[in-house]
Amino acid sequence: MGSIELPQRCLIFLGEVTDPSMAKTAFGLRDWAPQRCVGEYSLPGCTVSTGLPRLTPTQARERGADGFIIGVANFGGILAESWIPILLEALGAGLDVVSGMHSRLTDHAQLSAAAQRYGRKLIDVRKPAAGIPVASGRKRTGKRLLTVGTDCALGKKYTALAIARALQARGLPATFRGTGQTGIMIAGAGIPIDAVVADFVAGAAELLTPDAAPEHWDVVEGQGSLFHPSYAGVSLGLLHGTQPDVIVVCHELGRTHLVDVPEYPVPSLFETIDLNLRLARRTNPQARCAGISLNTAALSPSEASNVLEEHSSRLRLPVADPMRGGPAFERLVQACIAQ
């Protein structure tokens, strides 16, 4: 109840994009869920490619695909009219169509009629399923890790994905829990937290992380930041609802002011750890911070290594860039699972 479930083998649609940053959903799926990607399809004018085989919807269906995912995010999150013919073709080929856009597939009369005619589904990822309850605050079995941040858009999703994969590589049962459109598409299921009515955000987080075996880890993709005046509410709902045993604080090196609100400075890592733990302990008194995920994309490998070591020494916590891996990341993962 409450969680969106998606097709498991998909053709990725790139539209007419010319900027790779507009296709981050497509690249996220390729990088983190390659087993779910059958191929790609784009329209004339598109200059971006994931490197996946180029297939038509019919060819993808013949190769086992059951879904057609819109892998781009345009300005305004709208369904372009130029896309409708290929979306109709995908439905006719026997594929469910999945979108994370703000414009809903189900609001388009032609697509709705075709889906009904062919017996296929139109899945709007940003439309949470019915039945999400108010949070109970009940302590659940299993273990939970939540990525939190000093700001928005600095690596909470990729950090959660990397940690979940690392736990699995160690033979531990771990599940990545998607809370945003790309995370949900990568996981194949999840709840779009930013589309849930405020009173039910913590309840949605409880649904996303149900009772589990004592050794099982739910690794939850964080959203927003407690310090961001626009998105603190969803961050707090996730923090209370997931009842994390462990938080990992994410930060982008060199960022000085919050996204979209430049009059607000980025908080210190000490302040971020302290506030997240004080609020997390409202629903899990044992919550602890395992370490820091530091986005060092702008640095050379040697510069990044020095910065990670300096931050670790100053904070007295493991500090790593999950995208770089290496011993620093292994120390962070070990700290996550330490008793």
What does the H/E/C string look like for the chain?
CCCEECCCCEEEECCCCCCHHHHHHHHHHHHHCHHHEEEEECCCCCCCCCCCCECCHHHHHHCCCCEEEECCCCCCCCCCHHHHHHHHHHHHCCCEEEECCCCCHHHCHHHHHHHHHHCCCEEECCCCCCCCCCCCCCCCCCEEEEEEECCCCCCHHHHHHHHHHHHHHCCCCEEEEECCHHHHHHHCEECCHHHCCHHHHHHHHHHHCCCCCCCCEEEECCCCCCCCCCCHHHHHHHHHHHCCCEEEEEEECCCCECCCCCCCECCCHHHHHHHHHHHHCCCCCCCEEEEEEEECCCCCHHHHHHHHHHHHHHHCCCEECCCCCHHHHHHHHHHHHCC
- Tens digit of pLDDT for each residue in 162-208? 999 999 999 999 999 999 999 999 999 999 999 999 999 999 999 99
What is the Cα 3 distance to its own chain's centre? Answer: 14
- Tell me, what amino acid is at 83? W
The DSSP bridge pattern shows strands 4-5 and 189-190 to be: antiparallel
Give the mean pLDDT of 287-306.
97
- The CATH number of domain 143-337 is 3.40.50.300: yes
Asked if 182 contacts 247 with a C-beta cutoff of 8 angstroms, the reply is no
Q: What's residue 3's pLDDT?
A: 75
Tell me: pLDDT of 225 over 90: yes
Residue-averaged pLDDT of the chain:
96
Tell me: pLDDT of 115 over 80: yes
Asked if 275 contacts 149 with a C-beta cutoff of 8 angstroms, the reply is no
pTM reported for the whole predicted model: 0.93
Q: Where in the chain is the domain with CATH 3.40.50.300?
A: 143-337
Predicted confidence band at 21 (pLDDT cuts at 50, 70, 90)?
confident
Q: What's residue 128's pLDDT?
A: 87
Q: What's residue 2's pLDDT?
A: 64
Q: Which residues touch 303 (CB under 8 Å, ≥6 apart)?
A: 296
- Tell me, what amino acid is at 151? D
Q: Where in the chain is the domain with CATH 3.40.50.720?
A: 4-124
Predicted confidence band at 259 (pLDDT cuts at 50, 70, 90)?
very high
- Tens digit of pLDDT for each residue in 65-77? 999 999 998 777 8
Q: What's residue 337's pLDDT?
A: 97
Half-sphere exposure of 201 (CA within 13 A, CB side): 20
Of all residues in the chain, what percent carry a pLDDT higher than 70?
A: 99
Query: Which fold does the domain 4-124 belong to in CATH?
Result: Rossmann fold (3.40.50)
Give the mean pLDDT of 124-147.
94
